Amino acid sequence: MIVQRKKLSLLERLYLPALAGGFKVTWRHFANTLFKGHTAGKELSGGYYPEKKWVVGEGYRGAPYLVRDPEGRTKCVSCQLCEFVCPPKAIKITPPGPQGSPEVGNVEKAPQEFEINMLRCIFCGFCQEVCPEEAIFLQNDYSLNAESREELIYNKEKLLSLGGVHQDKIWKWKNK
């Protein structure tokens, strides 16, 4: 079936009505901002981002960070599941080798290096879901900024400082 379309007039072919409508909306917003001192949407939200922080909803997936147990040790045992499951390959873990280190107590495989490239991270939450030790959590962090690209590659110390201490009921590596 062929649909017959009506011919466009010269005015319609020049897109002048659409262009005039756009200028009309732009001028209205400009005049409200300039003369009345308000902008569209400010009344609904109570302000804008830098002055007023957003409240994120339940289930928001923010930036991933490492957490410590209540004794201050890292909960990560460098099983590398988060590294394997990460779609953009943003996580890089260097295991400690066969000996481990004496300052971590019974934890034999605390990672030597752990870094997350926040430029590559897509905040999917797979790393949190797959972690058997509950060592990595997504925080309600939506404002990641830096002055250089290198600052957005978080090492183990920065991830642990941002993640804090996780108070859970089960301590797998409790000293006996």
The per-residue pLDDT for range 13-29, each reduced to its tens digit, is 888 888 899 999 999 98
The whole-number pLDDT of residue 174 equals 56
Which pLDDT does position 44 carry in this prediction? 46
Residues 84 and 37 in one domain: no
**Residue at 79: amino acid letter:** C
Place 176 in a pLDDT band, splitting at 50, 70 and 90.
Answer: very low
In a domain, 111, yes or no: yes
Q: Which domain holds residue 32?
A: 13-45
Say if residue 40 is in the same domain as residue 73: no
User: Based on the structure, what is the number of domains in the chain?
Assistant: 2
* Residue 171 domain flag: no
- 8 A C-beta contact, residue 29 and residue 40: yes
Residue 79 lies in a domain: yes
Q: Does position 164 have pLDDT exceeding 60, yes or no? A: yes
C-alpha torsion 147→163→110→73, nearest 10: 130
- Residue 173: pLDDT above 70? no
| Residue 45 predicted with pLDDT over 60 | no
Please check whether residue 168 lies inside any domain of the structure.
no
